[in-house]
Amino acid sequence: MKNLDYNDTQLSKKILSEIKEVSSSLGDITIMEFCGTHTHSIFRFGIRDLLPQNITMLSGPGCPVCVTDNRDIDYSLALAEMPDTIITTFGDMIKVPGSSKSLQDIKAEGKDIRIVYSCMSALEIAEQNPKKNVIFLGVGFETTAPTVAGAIIEAERKGIDNFFVYSMHKLTPPAMRSILELGEVKLNGILGPGHVSTVIGSEAWKFLPDDYKIPIAIAGFDIIDILLGIRALLEMIRDKNPRVMNTYLRAVKPEGNKLAQDMMYEVFEVADSYWRGLGKLPESGLRIKEKYKDFDASKQFPINISEANEHRLCRCGEVIRGVISPLECPLFDEVCSPSNPVGPCMVSSEGTCSAYYLYGVRR
Domains within the chain, CATH numbers bracketed: 1-313 (3.40.50.11740), 316-358 (no CATH)
Q: Give residues with Cβ within 8 angstroms of 79, minimum separation 6.
A: 85, 87, 135, 166, 297, 301, 303
pLDDT of residue 363: 75
**pLDDT, tens digit, 9 for 90 and up, residues 90-106:** 988 999 999 889 999 99
Which residues are paired to 56 by β-bridges?
30
For residue 170, what is the DSSP state?
B
Q: What are the phi and psi torsion angles at 281 (to 5°)? A: -110, 130
pLDDT of residue 134: 98
What does the DSSP assignment read for 188-212?
SEEEE-HHHHHHH-GGGGTHHHHHH
C-alpha closest to that of 357 among 329, 343, 337: 337
Q: Which residues of the chain have pLDDT under 70?
A: 1-7
CA distance 323 to 315: 10
CA distance 131 to 134: 9
CA distance 186 to 207: 17
pLDDT of residue 284: 98
pLDDT of residue 312: 87
CA distance 213 to 232: 15
> Reduced to 3 states, what is the DSSP secondary structure of residue 332?
strand
pLDDT of residue 129: 98
pLDDT of residue 304: 85
pLDDT of residue 6: 67
Which residues are paired to 332 by β-bridges?
336
> Reduced to 3 states, what is the DSSP secondary structure of residue 348?
coil
pLDDT of residue 137: 98
C-alpha closest to that of 200 among 138, 117, 261: 261
pLDDT of residue 5: 66
Radius of gyration of the CA atoms of the chain, in A = 21
Alpha helices in 69-206 (DSSP H): 70-80, 103-108, 119-128, 145-158, 172-182, 194-200
pLDDT of residue 3: 62
CA distance 66 to 348: 7
